[in-house]
Chains A and B, each alone.
Chain A
Amino acid sequence: MATSLNSFRTGPDERGHFGIFGGRYVAETLMPLILELEAAYNTAKADPAFQDELDYLLEHYAGRPSPLYFAKRLTEKLGGAKIYLKRDELNHTGSHKINNVLGQVLMAKRMGKTRVIAETGAGQHGVATATACALFDIPCVVFMGSVDVERQSPNVFRMKMLGAEVRPVTAGSSTLKDAMNEALRDWVATCENTFYCIGTVAGPHPYPAMVRDFQCVIGNETREQMIKAEGRLPDTLVACIGGGSNAMGLFHPFLDDPGVRIVGVEAAGHGIESGEHAASLTGGRPGVLHGNRTYLLQDKEGQITEAHSISAGLDYPGIGPEHSWLKENGRVEYVSATDDEALEAFQLLCKLEGIIPALESSHALAHVMRLAPTLPKDNLLVMNLSGRGDKDVPQVAARMGMKIES
């Protein structure tokens, strides 16, 4: 662990801790399985055949590398930093989630698991998992809060078409956190044959590190592409944060480049001061949930409070533990954007660039709209466009008082 902070990229330690964050707070039943996964992942990482197979799939199946696109009209409109969009919304299935899922499903195969489960919020991770499971012919069950089933209905149909079983979860707030509880409950009973494919850089060790590694393709490509386009590294990185996987994937390869300013954007829902938000770093404090210690939205005693965001993918009261660590050591800045700001950003990108962004990614854009005008024109800013917004069209239409004719 980088206690001297010569590097921000050496975590976690052998017990899965990033400083005080992370760890393995799970039921004993799962502990042996998590250790088995850790060992299997360490072997896979060192096996060139594993990386080759993953690289092949990323290129020929998912469509990587995703372009680094100079958003000229957006740049002109905002009148400051030179804005590039990392186009991960162009990946097969429409978001960055596929990067991680292909890696994990290959792990499932390697470990001889015959069933895959996943939790999903926006449905993007569920769709990606259903897709990879179709490809590898593995039965797949996706847990999804019933509120999210409602607001992301296009993705529910997609998962079903891909052959996955979608189990709506009605416990608690019926959103992402409850879907994760239910997935963990399933896993305790089925761990001998089932692989749990977690959708973000959270959960017990080794998930935060493993998912990060699979998502780092985003930042590694960005580095090369920016050097090719501009002859140097970017100055500013911006990404939205639910659990934090698309952000970590972009950020991590740049953590040891001190000249790169890095900003994560959480969901402020109705505003931080309203108490109805999903900004765990801004409005929460450290606690233990879903297998790791991290910043959580909670009351005084430690009961988890409900998150609020227009975006199902950000509507989670926690965050990956490595982000908590990067907040505390100050390497990454964490800010937030409200529902309304995200909706405004959503529409702006549609009109200016002809790109319909996911509501999640719209939060990153909302901050870019604030930040870019304050930066000089030679400041190279990369925003991770983590997903496309097709899934959000019915919800945004309803918010805008429009009706979609069928």
Chain B
Amino acid sequence: MSRIAKRFAQLKADRRAGLVTYITAGDPDTDIGYQILKGLPGAGADLIELGMPFTDPMADGPSIQLAGQRALKAGISIDKTFDMVRRFRKETGDNDTPILLMGYYNLVYQRGADKFCKDAAAAGIDGFILVDLPPEEADELKPFAVANGLDTVLLTAPTTDDKRLPAVLKYSSGFVYFVSVLGITGTSSATEEAVRTHVERIKRHTQLPVGVGFGIRTPDQAAAVARHADAAVVGSAIVERVKAGLDDNGKPKPDLVPGVFAYIRALADGVRGVRKG
């Protein structure tokens, strides 16, 4: 069983949904980025998505675009991202919290899908969410992911109808990610009713846990998603807390890291307040 599968099994046993937190690797710099990563489980994150900054993040809104630019400017690289995860596993001794890489396929492709998967697995990474690798192209990565014990979490969208869902699910493992709104990250939010309807629809096709993201900003919204899905994913709103912790010159203020954790704690309280089945 993968770390991701184990974590969802545990959540189920605890009769609650999970909180998936997205941060951009190396934002605002490698050092503080690592401090944030290290403290995420303690602040209430059940799974971690680590964004790989890309110069052309076509599916991301301004918040995550800017976070990527901050991180690239501060010198983040794939090697440093792997190092960060290796260090996390070693220093915290946390061998249970799944860490997924999120981003765009070109960075994987340039390293070579085979080598990327090997290096990622060796660093302690558990899987991928690649925004621009739909089922039509997923064959390029899937065999190497499987060979290295990595999960591939594919995205489904409101436009993914019942006819198409099986194709997405065929390549998904660990969980399946429902993008709850039409649009880029960090813009609008779905209604609870829409989330419920779509999650029920997806669950008719699969036993995989369903994580729901895009547009979740408040503990109440996180709780609303937790009532219907197996996990709530929060990204832009967290990354905005990182930005809020920077002064006018882009230098981190002392309350940056505590500010991020306080926010995540509030989200976690929202999610954990919902008792499931």
Q: Which residues of A come within 8 Å of B, CB atoms?
A: 15, 23-33, 171-172, 177-178, 181, 184-185, 188-192, 287-291, 293, 296, 298, 300-305
B58 and A29 within 8 A (CB):
no
- Which B residues are CB-close (under 8 A) to A177? 56
A185 and B168 within 8 A (CB):
no
- Look across to chain A and name the residue whose beta carbon is closest to the beta carbon of B136: A24
A189 to B104, CA, bound (A): 19
Which of B92-100, B151-159, B192-200, B255-263 faces chain A? B151-159
Interface status of B61 (Cβ within 8 A of chain A): yes
- Nearest CB of B to A22, in Å: 10
A26 to B182, CA, bound (A): 14
4 tightest Cβ-Cβ pairs between the two chains A and B: A302-B110, A189-B183, A29-B157, A302-B106
A29 to B181, CA, bound (A): 9
Which of B4-12, B31-39, B126-134, B221-229 faces chain A? B126-134
B134 and A185 within 8 A (CB):
no
- Look across to chain A and name the residue whose beta carbon is closest to the beta carbon of B107: A302
Interface status of B184 (Cβ within 8 A of chain A): yes
Best-buried of A30, A33, A298 by chain B (most CB within 10 Å) = A30
Interface status of B72 (Cβ within 8 A of chain A): yes
- Look across to chain B and name the residue whose beta carbon is closest to the beta carbon of A302: B110
Contact of B56 (CB < 8 Å), options: A23, A26, A33, A181 = A181
Having A29-B182, A301-B78, A303-B72, one finds 5 other A-B pairs with CB under 8 Å, namely A31-B160, A32-B161, A287-B109, A288-B105, A302-B110
B182 and A185 within 8 A (CB):
no
Contact of A27 (CB < 8 Å), options: B58, B107, B110, B161 = B58
- Nearest CB of B to A57, in Å: 31
Interface status of B249 (Cβ within 8 A of chain A): no
Contact of A26 (CB < 8 Å), options: B60, B134, B158, B168 = B134
Instruction: List 9 A-B residue pairs with CB atoms under 8 Å apart, sorted by A's residue number.
Output: A27-B59, A27-B155, A28-B159, A31-B136, A32-B161, A185-B58, A188-B182, A290-B58, A301-B78
- Which A residues are CB-close (under 8 A) to B55? 172, 303-305
A185 and B59 within 8 A (CB):
yes
- Nearest CB of B to A375, in Å: 40
- Look across to chain A and name the residue whose beta carbon is closest to the beta carbon of B133: A25
Interface residues contributed by chain B, number (CB under 8 Å): 43
Q: Given that A24-B137, A25-B105, A288-B109 are contacting pairs, would A33 and B58 also be in contact in the complex, using a CB cutoff of 8 Å?
A: no
Cβ < 8 Å to A, chain B residues 44-77: 54-61, 65, 72, 77
B154 and A28 within 8 A (CB):
yes
A32 and B159 within 8 A (CB):
yes
Q: Given that A171-B65, A191-B182 are contacting pairs, would A29 and B159 also be in contact in the complex, using a CB cutoff of 8 Å?
A: yes
A218 to B192, CA, bound (A): 53
- Nearest CB of A to B99, in Å: 19
Q: Given that A29-B159, A171-B65, A291-B132 are contacting pairs, would A301 and B77 also be in contact in the complex, using a CB cutoff of 8 Å?
A: yes
Cβ < 8 Å to A, chain B residues 131-176: 131-137, 154-161, 164, 168
Q: Given that A27-B131, A287-B110, A302-B107 are contacting pairs, would A181 and B161 also be in contact in the complex, using a CB cutoff of 8 Å?
A: no
- Which A residues are CB-close (under 8 A) to B189? none
B56 and A188 within 8 A (CB):
no
Cβ < 8 Å to A, chain B residues 86-117: 104-107, 109-111
- Which A residues are CB-close (under 8 A) to B131? 27
A392 to B231, CA, bound (A): 54
A189 and B58 within 8 A (CB):
no
- Look across to chain B and name the residue whose beta carbon is closest to the beta carbon of A36: B159
- Which A residues are CB-close (under 8 A) to B182? 29, 188-192
A97 to B219, CA, bound (A): 50
- Which A residues are CB-close (under 8 A) to B184? 185, 188-189
B155 and A28 within 8 A (CB):
yes
- Nearest CB of B to A298, in Å: 7
- Nearest CB of A to B254, in Å: 30
B110 and A185 within 8 A (CB):
no
Interface status of B218 (Cβ within 8 A of chain A): no
Contact of B183 (CB < 8 Å), options: A26, A188, A290, A296 = A188
- Which A residues are CB-close (under 8 A) to B159? 28-33, 191-192
A27 to B137, CA, bound (A): 11
Interface status of B267 (Cβ within 8 A of chain A): no
- Which B residues are CB-close (under 8 A) to A185? 58-61, 184
- Look across to chain A and name the residue whose beta carbon is closest to the beta carbon of B178: A28
B77 and A288 within 8 A (CB):
no
A191 to B242, CA, bound (A): 31
Best-buried of B77, B107, B134 by chain A (most CB within 10 Å) = B134
A288 and B134 within 8 A (CB):
no
Contact of B179 (CB < 8 Å), options: A29, A32, A190 = A29
- Nearest CB of A to B130, in Å: 9
- Look across to chain B and name the residue whose beta carbon is closest to the beta carbon of A35: B164
- Look across to chain A and name the residue whose beta carbon is closest to the beta carbon of B61: A185
Best-buried of A24, A30, A188 by chain B (most CB within 10 Å) = A188
A288 and B59 within 8 A (CB):
no
A220 to B168, CA, bound (A): 41
- Nearest CB of A to B140, in Å: 9
Q: Given that A28-B179, A33-B159, A191-B159 are contacting pairs, would A300 and B110 also be in contact in the complex, using a CB cutoff of 8 Å?
A: yes
B164 and A32 within 8 A (CB):
yes
Interface status of B187 (Cβ within 8 A of chain A): yes
B197-236: CB near A (< 8 Å → 1, else 0) gives 0000000000000000000000000000000000000000
- Nearest CB of B to A316, in Å: 12
A27 and B106 within 8 A (CB):
no
- Nearest CB of B to A257, in Å: 34
A24 and B59 within 8 A (CB):
no
- Nearest CB of B to A182, in Å: 9
A11 to B60, CA, bound (A): 32
- Look across to chain B and name the residue whose beta carbon is closest to the beta carbon of A190: B182
